Every structure is written in structure tokens, then in C-alpha cells.
Structure 1
């Protein structure tokens, strides 16, 4: 599911300017989740180790809820031990009788995409990877993801488990998601648990440094500034590669107060073949476009008043009108030069106004009376990854002043005045009818 508003021209321009060579791709503003570019964004494709973003999310969630602690120790199960010994996969070998903290397993997963360490974390959280896979799919639903299926915690093809894959999944199964779903997961991860970027941005680290088990872990995200395809502002998030999924990458970079999320799945080079470099080249195209052709603008200022709706009529009050304005500003990333393409859309709260659109006194300054969002002056459509993202371009409209309730005598006199006013109006109409 994604959430729509009316759109400006920025995404249309991006689609014309970019030619991303991948089976699926998407570019979004990381603050609001506004989609700036997409290609086959709802196609269900392999994700390989980008899967680990969900494992990271669930770990941070468990730690937040006090279910797991960073210094908690874990001893490898048989499946974790055997998987971790396979160096043809990305791994840090774990001793069968060893004790490992959740923190060091997490670092191995995020930095080095260590598969054994990832399964270990799944067992720490859920007791077994089978239970954890159910948690993954349930959490995806709660996050509003569609077009996805998790069959393991690591992103490996189940065949790599050599018969030890999670129960209820097939021996050749592999995790799948659409680019939109991947971007949505990344959006939730970095906005709800931004500390993940502190680890994801580490270019290299030694696992078990100072012991006979030490292993240098070089980050697979080669777009980190100090690595081979370094990109300014890049600090995450997750690569993925299998025969089924091809070369995949979820990237995020921040510059000049703007942050973007990109996803490419089964990226290819100019000759149509996939390789490590292609996923970074295609990511660079989107990020270059985003940083060069968008700006973050204040579309609606704080205390903005909509023309024709600067006041709302009031009944039973000492005043018969109350001034209203926006509680805060609306800021949004838009295509360069498009700040004048948007118009305000005011919606008064149906529970606060009567059928005639009037508020009832007493009213306190700051009381919410409705909301205001923005829509472009054309009628094209833009999408947001999440409901929460769309809400970031919707602000409260509040009363700008107090309106006290009129006392009984004033209300009575008004009632009398209205009565005689109605009588006189009726007489006038009748008299006019005589002539």
C-alpha cells in the first residue's frame, strides 16, 4: 500500500532524465517518503541480503522493548555454527562453544553481512529462525508493506542452509520484495532507529580483534566515502547478491539538509550483465539527480492563513468569528523551481463545526479546528511510501485567539433579536407580495 496526494512535475522530470538499468528501482525523500522516481516499483523481485534490514529492525525493536540487551551473550546452535563456517558465503566463523555478544553479532551482520551471525540474532530474538520468519512477515504487515515474502532471516537462498532452512519454507525458496516495499522498510528503519547508520557507515572493522579468531570485516557498501566508489554523504544501508536476486543495493545519503533512499534490484551494466559496480553506478545516477535537481522548500509558513478562510464563524460566543492559522510550517523536497506549483487545501474538523460550518464557543487559542495539506496546481499524482510520511506534509490548523462563551442574557437577547428579525423579514416579504 502507498499513499497518494496530487503531485508536481518533479517525478515526471526524473523519469525523463533517468534511465536506470535494473529490473526495479525507486528513489524517495527519506524524510517524507515522497517518491521522486520509480521503475517497476511494484514488481516482486529477489532481495538477497537486503533482507537483513528487517532483521536489524526487529533487533532494534526488541532492544527498545527490553526483550534483548546489547551485551547479552549467545552460544551458536548447530545451524549457526555450520553456516558460519562456509566462507564461500559472507561470514565470520563462529566457534560452536564460543560466547558472542549481541553487539558483535549485530556489527558482523550490518558491516559484513555475516549470515551465520544474522541467524544467531534471529535465534536470540525468537528462539528459532522458524519463529523469527513468522515475526518478519507479521512485522511487514504491521509496517504496511505489500508485495513481499520472507523465508529466512539472512537473505540466502534456502539451498545454502543444506537442509536446515526454516520449517514451513521450501528448499529452494528465497526472500522477495518489491522496490517500493524495500524502500518502505528502509524508511522505517532509519527514521525509527537512526542509530543503525552509525554501524552501517563503518567502512571496516575487525571482528574479535586481538584474538586468534580475528577477521577483518570490509563493508560491502563500496559507496561509503572512504571506499572504492565513495560518494559524499553516503552512510548506508544494505547490499545484497544471489544468483536469483542479482546485484541489489539499498542506499541512503545525506547532504545539505536533504536525505534520500534509493533501491536497485538486479542492476546491470551497459552490456546488460550484472556486477558489483553496476548497482553502485545506477544508485549514483539517482542520488546525483536528487541532490542536483531538488530543493527543500517551505511551501506553507507557520501561522499561514488560507485566502477566504482567515476566520471561521462562531455560535454562542462573545465574538461571532475566530481567526485561524496553521500551527506549523510545511517543508517538502520538490523539483527545483516548483515552489509556486502548489496550493493549500484546508479541511475543517467535522467534529468541531456544525452543518453550517460554524464553531461553537468557548474556543481556546491553540484549539485544533482542522488540517491543511498541499496539492499541486496541476492534477498529476505523487505517492508517499507510508501514511506517516504523507502526514509530514499535513499540519494542524488552530484557533489564533480565545472566544469566550456569551452569557445567558446576551444569548437570550440575540435570540429575541433573531426572532424579531425573522418576523420583520416575513412581513417585508408579504408586503412586497402585495405589489
Structure 2
């Protein structure tokens, strides 16, 4: 009888438990988009806010996404006047040999040819031409080996982490026909986590947005009108007119090697919002890597960003915190000074979660002496920061650690009090202290 009763209870309770747990499944499923990648990240290109990430801190092969670093240093060198767009490069044995390998992405270069930096750059940005990339590196630094030093220095400056550069192109070194940079191994390949790739793309677009003028070109003729004319179709098949076209896409860089798989750093703009997506080693549901797999994964990230997120203003300029509208002032004509947020606080957030964010005040303790500001104080003096804090759930933060805050400043000036006023205050404070001590002494007698 007891056994039958237990079976009856199980038949009733277990279905109830299953029904109760059904409601928890969507929460877990919502944390993952169902993309098949080794690593991925989605960020707001304007603020650097991370909207989604999946294994974004694990170093993985980056293949030709490496070329974004070469592009950054190229633009920087042009800006500094170190080289010019119309400067000519003379082909050497290294670049000639690499350019003739049509199993790689290349535009063939003539052994005795000269090419402008602009020509080489366009073939890099549109067609991912590897020999052209090496030629640009040699023009800037003399050799690819020396250019690696620039890449590492710039990576450190930009705050990239867990990166390893062994060449300028992203190829496996075994494709460089024994001419790979000194100090690197013959089988080495560039690696970086998705978060660092996104950070590199973020800074490239912030500092040199003109890169999109070229990365948005879907087809161009290299050396048009000459016997060397070659059609260059952009490897970014999400551009207008291509098979995986996606509205708003205008960059940025694909990457494919056996080690790195099918990877892509894409950017798109819609309705005033621009996002950057990185997918690494994308595969389909059966585990097979392909161009389609990487663009399908990118599409899923783009759709998620544009449909689920919006830019919200949480705090207007001049906002005052209710719990602390002012700071005490020492040696001033006034005993306190009003403080407020300097600029509006806007951020791209998941629309359904916008009510979870509240502003938080962080006073810079280094600006205070015994919890007070010292006069004189200028209007607009920075006294701290305001940041948005999410009350519950996951917040991925920002691509740069110094992002996501705005200055809190003084709203008026406070002049330093004159010597007479300060003297009288000192005397008053002295006698006030004496009086307080006397009262305390007398009270003590009666305890």
C-alpha cells in the first residue's frame, strides 16, 4: 500500500514540478542567442557599451582581422606625415613571391612594379590582399619584423589584452614561404580574444572613421584600364548587392584560416545606432565552418542589437543627486558649493531593462581635505563622477575601463575668504571649542 501511495504522489508531484520549472527556461535561453561560435561580442560603436558577449575573453585565432591593426597604424602614419597616399612602393622578392600565391587572397604584383600606398590599401581593405599588407608594413617600418614592434606598441596603448602578433596579415606563418618575421615560429599565427578584437575595431572607427569609405566598397577594379586589371570583390558578403546583404552594413574585416576558422568583425548602422559585432570560428548547426555560418552568426547579433536595444537618456545635464546636492567648503566665503552632473548620461541598453539603471555618485576623495573642498573653487571644477548602475541582472560593462561615467562638477565658484574673516572664524572656533570642552568637563563632574 505504501509503495502504491508513493507512486501516486510521484505521478502528481513530478508533473507539477515540471510545470513550475517551465517558466525558468526562457531566462536561461535568453542569455544565449543560439549562435555557433567559439567566441563573440556585440558593442555599441558610439559609447563602447557591451551589449552581448560569449566566451569573449579567450584568445583565439584572428586571421585577416589582424589587418585592422595594420590599417590603424597606416592611418596614423598618414596623419603624422610619415608617409603619403601617393607614395610609391617598389616590389621586392618577398612581396612578389607572396602576391603570386593565388591560393591566398592577393592581387598579383609585378616583380619590377611600383604601386601607390592608396592602391595597396584599397586592395587590403576590400580584397584582404596579403602581399599588399606586407608592402604597406615595409613602407612604414622598413621590414615586417620592425612593423610587428609597432603593432605590439599600439596594442598596449589601446589596452588590448592576451594578443599575439607574429605577422601583419593574419596568415599562418607557414604561408610566408620561410620569410616570416624574425623571432616568430614557422607555424605561428596571430591570436586575440573577441573582446580585444572589438576594442581594436572600436578605436579604428572612432579615430579613423574614413576607413568605412573603403570597407563599404563591394567591388572595385585593381589597376583599372591596365593589363594588370583585376576585379576585387569584397569578402564581406553582408554588403549591399551580395548574397548575405544586411541593411546598414559598411564594414569591417573578415578573417579565414584553418586555425582561426571563419571569423568576422562587422559593423552596421541603422536609425542612428551603430554596432560592432565580432564572431570567431563560426560554424553551422552541424559544426561545419563556412562563410554563411559567420554571416548568419553576425546577422543574429545585429538583429539582437537593433531590435532589443535603444539609446536612453537617464540623467540630464545639471542633474543633482538628492542625497548630496553640495559639498562642504573650507576657507571660503561660502560654507558649501552646489554640485551637479556636467553632461547628460545616455547609454544604449536593452529597452526592457532601462528601468533597472540608476545614477550613482562617486566623489573623488583626492579632491577633499577632511571631507571638504578647499577654497578658492572655480565653477565647473570636477569633484567626482556619475555612473549608471544596474540593480539586477548581468551588466557586461564597457569595452574600455574608463568609459561609462560623466563628470560631476561645481555649479558656482567659491572665493577664498579674506584674512580678517578667516581670523575671526579661527577665534570663534577656538572659543567654541573651549566652551564645548568646559561644558563637557562640568557634565563629567555629575556623572
- Would the TM-score normalized by the shorter structure come out above 0.5? yes
Contact 2:215 2:252 in 1 (8 A): yes
Corresponding residue of 2:8: none
Are residues 1:97 and 2:112 paired? yes
- 1:144-191: CA deviation from partner (whole Å, max 9, x where unpaired): 212221111111222222222222222222222221221121112111
Corresponding residue of 2:70: 55
- Of residues 225, 245, 248, the one that matches 1:210 is 225
- Of residues 276, 283, 299, the one that matches 1:261 is 276
- 1:309-359: CA deviation from partner (whole Å, max 9, x where unpaired): 10111121111111111111121111113233223222223332112x111
Are residues 1:371 and 2:388 paired? no
Corresponding residue of 2:359: 344
Contact 1:25 1:179 in 2 (8 A): yes
Contact 1:14 1:289 in 2 (8 A): no
CA separation in 1, counterparts of 2:302 and 2:385?
A: 33
TM-score normalised by the chain length of structure 1 = 0.92
Tell me which stretches of 4 or more aligned residues in structure 1 moved more than 4 Å. 12-15
CA separation in 1, counterparts of 2:424 and 2:148?
A: 70
- 1:216-257: CA deviation from partner (whole Å, max 9, x where unpaired): 111110111232211111111001111221111111111222
**Structure 1 unaligned regions, length at least 5:** 1-11
> Offset at 1:15?
5.3
- Of residues 433, 437, 440, the one that matches 1:422 is 433
CA separation in 1, counterparts of 2:30 and 2:167?
A: 34
CA separation in 2, counterparts of 1:118 and 1:170?
A: 20
Q: SS of 1:338's equivalent?
A: helix
Corresponding residue of 2:10: none
TM-score normalised by the chain length of structure 2 = 0.89
Contact 1:348 1:369 in 2 (8 A): yes
CA separation in 2, counterparts of 1:59 and 1:340?
A: 43
Q: SS of 2:367's equivalent?
A: coil
- 1:97-141: CA deviation from partner (whole Å, max 9, x where unpaired): 112110110000000111111111111111111222232223222
> Offset at 1:382?
2.5
CA separation in 1, counterparts of 2:333 and 2:146?
A: 63
Larger radius of gyration: 2
Cα 1:42–1:327 shift into 2, 3 Å: same
Cα 1:264–1:152 shift into 2, 3 Å: same
Corresponding residue of 1:5: none
Corresponding residue of 1:353: 368
CA separation in 2, counterparts of 1:13 and 1:300?
A: 31
CA separation in 1, counterparts of 2:170 and 2:121?
A: 15
CA separation in 2, counterparts of 1:195 and 1:116?
A: 23
Q: SS of 1:22's equivalent?
A: coil
Q: SS of 2:253's equivalent?
A: strand
Contact 2:52 2:396 in 1 (8 A): no
Contact 1:15 1:37 in 2 (8 A): no
CA separation in 1, counterparts of 2:260 and 2:58?
A: 13
| Cα RMSD, aligned residues only | 1.8
> Offset at 1:96?
1.4
**Structure 2 unaligned regions, length at least 5:** 1-26
Are residues 1:303 and 2:318 paired? yes
Cα 1:251–1:433 shift into 2, 3 Å: same
- Of residues 68, 81, 85, the one that matches 1:66 is 81
Which structure has more relative contact order (CA 8 Å, sep 6+)? It is: 1
CA separation in 2, counterparts of 1:210 and 1:430?
A: 102
